[in-house]
Amino acid sequence: MMLEGKTALITGAGRGIGRAIALCFANEGCNIAFTDIEDSEQVRATEAELLSLGVKAKAYIADASDYEAAIRIAAQIQAEFGTIDILVNNAGITRDGLLLRMSEQQWDDVLRVNLKSAFNYTHAVVPFMVRARKGSIISLASVVGIAGNPAQANYAASKAGIIALMKSTAKELGTRGIRANAVAPGYIDTDMTQALPQQVRDSFIERIPLHRAGTTDEVAQVVLFLASDMSSYVSGQVIPIDGAMG
């Protein structure tokens, strides 16, 4: 198994892409510590499913944008699991709106949850990885962080920031054996995209040469590659997962 004996910390993994990554990793023998903002039935179901795969797993209820909570939870995971080998910064939200109508609150909320949370947990786990002289950090960006998108200036800015954060982290910490990369999903079939009007969803599909949405499992497989030793010389990169949409 590709991740046997390793421990991953995944933010926002109660559902969607984060959950798919957690299950993918667990199937490869990885112990899973994950965060989510609410203690819900879905979070507990994810935790139970992970445990059923024979790995150690635990959910931690916390707001990923809370810096002090990130420091505390990372230390707790290090103590309880003994190591943090992989960090996946997945937590994120959208608050879409045209730039001229976008409120300060819409801007601040998205930058705080999407970008600040990635800084929080990267900053929190790096001391443990530096001492171990190894680690893989993967952050979920987006194709809109590369190309931009109407009515998503806040989201695009947050995801572009994540790409820059990972590239900078890779340059700073490469000498310590730590790799940092980003993945940039395009149109992925999730609860969030399912909530879009059918006309909007169809317009996305028309722009994708593969003529379909991606799946959360397809994103998880790329993240698995970056987490594993198969990508031991890959660092400071951003990998689109978009069906050639970009």
Q: Each residue's pLDDT tens digit in the chain (246 positions)?
A: 999 999 999 999 999 999 999 999 999 999 999 999 999 999 999 999 999 999 999 999 999 999 999 999 999 999 999 999 999 999 999 999 999 999 999 999 999 999 999 999 999 999 999 999 999 999 999 999 999 999 999 999 999 999 999 999 999 999 999 999 999 999 999 987 887 788 878 888 999 999 999 999 999 999 999 999 999 999 999 999 999 987
Tell me, yes or no, whether 188 lies in a domain: yes
Residue that has been written with the tokens 């609150």 in this structure: 105
CATH of the domain at 152: 3.40.50.720
Cα-to-chain-centroid distance, residue 193? 17
- Give domain status of residue 86, yes or no: yes
Residue 223 lies in a domain: yes
60 in a structural domain: yes
Q: What is the pLDDT of residue 209?
A: 96
Sorted by sequence, the CB contacts under 8 Å of residue 111 that are 6+ apart come out as 154, 157, 158, 161
Number of domains into which the chain is organized: 1
Given 60, 67, 121, 155, which residue is catalytic?
Answer: 155
Could you tell me if residue 14 is inside a domain? yes
Q: Which domain holds residue 99?
A: 7-240
pLDDT score at 182: 98
Question: Given this model, what pLDDT does residue 191 score?
Answer: 82
Residue 246, pLDDT score: 76
Per-residue pLDDT at 193: 81
Q: Which long-range contacts (CB under 8 A, 24 or more apart) does 199-208 make?
A: 207/245, 208/242, 208/243, 208/244, 208/245
Residue 246 lies in a domain: no
Specify whether 67 is catalytic: no
> Residues 52, 28: contact at Cβ < 8 Å?
no
Q: What is the pTM of this model?
A: 0.97
With respect to residue 245, please indicate whether it lies within any of the assigned structural domains: no
- Per-residue pLDDT at 201: 85
Residue 99 CA to residue 114 CA, distance in Å, equals 18
Does 68 map to a domain?
yes
